[in-house]
């Protein structure tokens, strides 16, 4: 069986990208990473990818005359790597419907809130301001509506007295580093079944029926 290949897209620090690369390296995720793509020429994720020996493509938004031209190049770049899965790991741009439709069911995103609460930017500050007692992260399939696709995994953390956006973000980030590799692994093991908004996680037995005719 061929090993699934990933493209990771990230815009900055890249700690989620690192978590995926580490879990590929230790064998937890049965995949290869074909490339890291970033829109930010100064992103630290570039160094992380190079250290891991993963090719990097920089597609800087500002060097294109408009969003359409940018997305055309992005599609061309992603398709050049022919990935089975595109992982948005801290990719800070909203993607247009063309690209989202092209990768429907094979593009996932991590968001630092328990969706559907606190979508969009500064989710952790939104949670603090609202006064929730539990926060967390969500990994979901990407659809045309921002932060609204079928949910794959959520992990929770408590919101503590005196938390700031920053302290809460740190606590959530630790959970992101578990949730995102887990979702990628499930996808690579063909264990995510999407029906409408619902994602069912198949057990390994459901996904690996016994060989025909053995009766096993």
User: Could you list the residues that contact ligand GRF (CB under 6 A)?
Assistant: 10, 12-16, 89-90, 110-112, 173, 176
> Nearest distance from residue 40's CB to ligand GRF, in Å?
10
Cβ(157)–Cβ(179) below 8 Å: no
Nearer of residues 111 and 140 to ligand GRF, judged by Cβ: 111
CB of 43 to ligand GRF, least distance (A): 8
How far is Cα 161 from Cα 158, in angstroms, rounded to an integer?
10
Least Å distance, CB 74 to ligand GRF, is: 17
Nearer to ligand GRF, 99 or 202 (CB): 99
Question: Is 111 assigned a catalytic role?
Answer: yes
Q: What is the nearest approach in angstroms of ligand GRF to the Cβ of residue 178?
A: 13
The encoded tokens of residue 146 equal: 């921002």
Closer of 16 and 57 to ligand GRF (Cβ): 16
Beta-bridge partner residues of 9: 37, 88
Distances (CA, A) of 113 to 18, 189, 193, 202: 20, 26, 23, 24
Q: Which is nearer to ligand GRF, 19 or 34 (CB)?
A: 19
Coil, strand or helix at 107: strand
Of 111, 122, 140, 190, catalytic: 111
- Cβ-Cβ contacts under 8 Å for 69 (sequence gap 6 or more): none
Q: List, by residue number, the catalytic residues.
A: 111
């Amino acid at each position: 069986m061929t090993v699934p290949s990933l493209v990771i897209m990230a815009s900055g620090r890249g700690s989620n990208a690192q978590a995926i690369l580490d879990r590929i390296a230790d064998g937890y995720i049965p995949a290869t990473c074909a490339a890291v793509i970033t829109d930010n020429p100064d992103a630290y994720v570039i160094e992380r990818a190079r250290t891991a020996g993963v090719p990097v493509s920089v597609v800087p938004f500002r060097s294109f005359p408009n969003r359409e031209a940018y997305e055309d190049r992005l599609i061309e770049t992603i398709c050049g790597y022919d990935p089975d899965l595109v992982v948005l790991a801290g990719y800070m741009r909203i993607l247009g419907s063309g690209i989202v439709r092209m990768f429907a069911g094979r593009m996932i995103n991590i968001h630092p809130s328990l969706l559907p609460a606190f979508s969009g930017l500064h989710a952790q500050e939104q949670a603090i301001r609202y006064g929730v007692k539990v926060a967390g992260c969500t990994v979901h399939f990407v659809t045309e509506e921002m932060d609204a696709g079928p949910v794959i995994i959520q992990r929770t953390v408590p919101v503590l007295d005196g938390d700031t956006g920053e302290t809460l973000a740190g606590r959530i980030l630790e959970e992101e580093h578990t949730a995102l590799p887990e979702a990628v692994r499930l996808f690579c093991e063909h264990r995510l079944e999407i029906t409408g908004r619902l994602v069912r996680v198949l057990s390994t037995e459901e996904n690996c029926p016994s060989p025909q005719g053995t009766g096993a």
